C-alpha cells in the first residue's frame, strides 16, 4: 500500500450499528435501525416512550443478544453473523437510568471496580483522576447513600469513563435529577465527554436535551429511525409533522394543495413538491409567528384576535384566533411565542406575520 492509499483509508466509526432488528415475543421493538458514532462524537437517539431506544442501547452494550443485523466497535464485529462478544469484553462504558452504584462500596471503590489489569496504585490514581474530572474527588470515601442524585450520577459517569472506553452508552442519564441540577450536570457531562474523546450514544425523550448534547440526532418512532442529522438539520428541515412536533409544540392547520400552495387564514403557504389536490398539514412553530402590536391592521393583513396571553419566563405565549380576511368562516386557533413579557389584553386585534423558515407543509 502506498502513502496516498494510507492517507485515504477511512477510520471505522467507534460504534456502528447496521440494520438491527429485535423482537420481544410478538413486539417488534427495533425494526431495521442503522446508526454510527465516530470517536469524540455524541449521537442521541430521540423518540417517544416505547419506540425502541433503550433496546438499541442494550444491544450495543451486549445486554440483549442480537437477533438480526450487525454491531461493530472500531471496525471489529462484536455482534451478528454468529458473533456475540459478552458485555464485559466490549470495552463500552454504561450509564443507565438508575446509576446502579454498588451500595456496599465507597465512591472510589465504585470507580476503581472496573479497572482490571492494573495494579492497586494505578487503579487508585486513575480512579482519583476521573473523580476529579467530574468534581467528586472530595467524596472519594463517601458511600452512595450519602450522595445526592446528581452526585451519584457523576460517580456513575466517572465509573463508566475510568477504563477509557471507546464508547459510552447513556440511557436517560439525567432523568432522576430536578431541572436545575439537570442543566448543570448535563453541561458537565458534555464537557467531560468531549475532553475524553469517547464516542457517546445517548438515549433521551427530551428534544431540548438532545439538542444540548448531540452532534447528531436520530429521531425514532415505532422501532425505526425516521430522520437522522444535526440538530440544525432536524429543527430546520424536519421530514414530517412528527419530527417537527418533537422539537416543541407546533400549530397545525389542515388544508389542500391548490396551484402549488395551501390556503390558510395565515395566507397562502407554498407547498413545494406536493401533488396538486393533495391533503396537507401546515405546521407553524409558535416562535415563527411574529406579532406587530403597533402596526395598523388593514383588512387584507393577516391578523389575530387575542384570546389570552401567559408569561412563561423568557417568552410569552399568546393564544389567538386567526380569521382569513377574504373568507370569514375559516378561522384557526394559533399560538405565538414571543420573546420577553408581552401580554396583550383579550379581544385585542394584532397584526401577525409568519416566518417561512418556521413553517412547513407535509402531505397527509
User: Minimum distance from CB of 219 to ligand ATP (Å)?
Assistant: 12
Q: Classify each residue of 176-206 as buried b or exposed e, where b means 16 or more C-beta atoms within 10 Å of its C-beta.
A: ebeeebbeebbebbeebbeebebbbbbbbbb
> By C-beta, is 26 or 104 nearer to ligand ATP?
26
- Closest to ligand ATP by CB, 25 vs 313, is 25
- Helix runs in 173-313, H state only: 179-196, 207-213, 231-236, 241-246
User: Measured between alpha carbons, how far is 59 from 31 in angstroms, rounded to an integer?
Assistant: 13
- The correct pick among 32, 40, 50, 91 for binding ligand ATP (CB under 6 A) is 50
| Eight-state DSSP code of residue 41 | -
Residues 6+ apart with CB under 8 A from 159: 93, 101, 110, 111, 113, 114, 130
Residue placing its CB nearer to ligand ATP in the complex, 134 or 214: 214
| Alpha helices, H only, the chain | 3-8, 53-61, 107-112, 120-133, 149-161, 179-196, 207-213, 231-236, 241-246
Nearer to ligand ATP, 60 or 257 (CB): 60
Residue of 237, 164, 213 whose CA lies nearest to 46:
213
Taking CB under 6 A as the binding criterion, the range among 49-57, 138-146, 301-309, 313-321 that sits at the site for ligand ATP is 49-57
Does 27 bind ligand ATP (CB under 6 A)? Our answer is yes
Q: Computed over its alpha carbons, how large is the radius of gyration of the chain?
A: 25
26 contributes a contact to ligand ATP by CB under 6 A: no
**Contact (Cβ atoms closer than 8 angstroms) between residue 79 and residue 63:** no
Site for ligand ATP in 189-208 (CB under 6 A): 205
In the complex, what is the shortest distance from the CB of residue 44 to ligand ATP, in angstroms, rounded to a whole number? 12
114 binds ligand ATP (CB under 6 A): no
Handedness of CA 132, 136, 142, 143 (dihedral sign): negative
55 binds ligand ATP (CB under 6 A): yes
Residue choice 36, 54, 151, 152 for contact with ligand ATP (CB under 6 A)? 54
Check binding of 130 to ligand ATP (CB under 6 A).
no
Tell me whether strands 279-284 and 315-323 are parallel, antiparallel or unpaired: unpaired
47 lies in the binding site for ligand ATP (CB under 6 A): yes
How many Cβ atoms are within 10 Å of 217's Cβ, its own excluded? Answer: 30
Q: Interface with ligand ATP by CB under 6 A: which range of 50-58, 66-74, 121-129, 334-342?
A: 50-58
Among 53, 154, 216, 285, binds ligand ATP (CB under 6 A): 53
Instruction: Determine contact, residues 33/17, Cβ cutoff 8 Å.
Output: yes
Q: Of 45-53, 103-111, 180-188, 301-309, which segment contacts ligand ATP by CB under 6 A?
A: 45-53
Q: Between 29 and 280, whose beta carbon lies closer to ligand ATP?
A: 29
Q: Does 60 bind ligand ATP (CB under 6 A)?
A: no
In the shown chain, the binding pattern of residues 201 to 240 toward ligand ATP, with x for contact by CB under 6 A and - for none, equals ----x-----------------------------------
Q: Which residues bind ligand ATP (CB under 6 A)?
A: 24, 27, 29, 47, 49-55, 205
Amino acid at each position: 500500500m502506498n502513502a496516498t492509499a494510507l492517507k485515504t483509508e477511512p477510520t471505522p466509526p467507534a460504534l456502528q450499528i447496521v440494520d438491527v432488528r429485535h423482537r420481544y415475543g410478538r413486539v417488534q421493538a427495533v425494526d431495521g435501525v442503522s446508526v454510527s458514532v465516530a470517536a469524540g462524537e455524541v449521537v442521541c437517539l430521540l423518540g417517544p416512550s416505547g419506540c425502541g431506544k433503550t433496546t438499541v442501547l442494550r444491544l450495543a452494550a451486549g445486554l440483549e443478544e442480537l437477533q438480526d443485523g450487525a454491531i461493530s466497535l472500531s471496525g471489529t464485529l462484536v455482534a451478528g453473523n454468529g458473533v456475540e462478544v459478552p458485555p464485559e469484553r466490549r470495552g463500552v462504558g454504561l450509564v443507565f437510568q438508575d446509576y446502579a452504584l454498588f451500595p456496599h462500596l465507597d465512591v472510589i471503590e465504585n470507580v476503581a471496580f472496573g479497572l482490571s489489569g492494573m495494579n492497586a496504585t494505578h487503579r487508585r490514581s486513575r480512579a482519583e483522576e476521573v473523580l476529579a474530572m467530574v468534581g467528586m474527588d472530595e467524596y472519594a470515601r463517601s458511600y452512595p447513600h450519602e450522595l445526592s442524585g446528581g452526585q451519584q450520577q457523576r460517580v456513575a459517569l466517572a465509573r463508566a469513563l475510568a477504563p477509557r472506553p471507546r464508547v459510552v452508552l447513556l440511557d436517560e442519564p439525567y432523568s432522576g435529577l430536578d431541572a436545575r441540577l439537570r442543566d448543570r450536570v448535563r453541561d458537565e457531562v458534555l464537557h467531560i465527554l468531549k475532553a475524553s474523546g469517547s464516542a457517546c450514544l445517548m438515549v433521551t425523550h427530551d428534544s431540548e436535551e438532545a439538542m444540548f448534547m448531540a452532534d447528531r440526532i436520530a429521531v425514532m418512532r415505532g422501532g425505526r429511525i425516521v430522520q437522522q442529522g444535526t440538530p440544525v438539520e432536524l429543527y430546520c428541515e424536519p421530514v414530517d409533522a412528527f419530527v417537527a412536533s418533537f422539537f416543541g409544540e407546533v400549530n397545525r392547520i389542515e388544508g389542500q394543495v391548490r396551484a402549488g400552495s395551501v390556503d390558510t387564514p395565515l395566507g397562502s403557504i407554498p407547498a413545494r413538491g406536493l401533488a396538486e389536490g393533495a391533503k396537507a398539514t401546515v405546521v407553524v412553530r409558535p416562535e415563527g409567528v411574529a406579532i406587530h402590536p403597533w402596526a395598523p391592521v388593514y383588512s387584507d393583513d393577516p391578523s389575530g384576535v387575542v384570546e389570552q396571553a401567559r408569561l412563561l419566563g423568557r417568552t410569552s405565549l399568546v393564544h389567538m384566533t386567526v380569521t382569513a380576511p377574504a373568507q370569514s368562516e375559516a378561522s384557526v386557533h394559533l399560538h405565538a411565542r414571543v420573546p420577553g413579557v408581552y401580554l396583550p389584553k383579550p379581544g385585542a386585534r394584532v397584526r401577525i406575520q409568519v416566518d417561512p423558515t418556521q413553517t412547513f407543509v407535509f402531505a397527509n
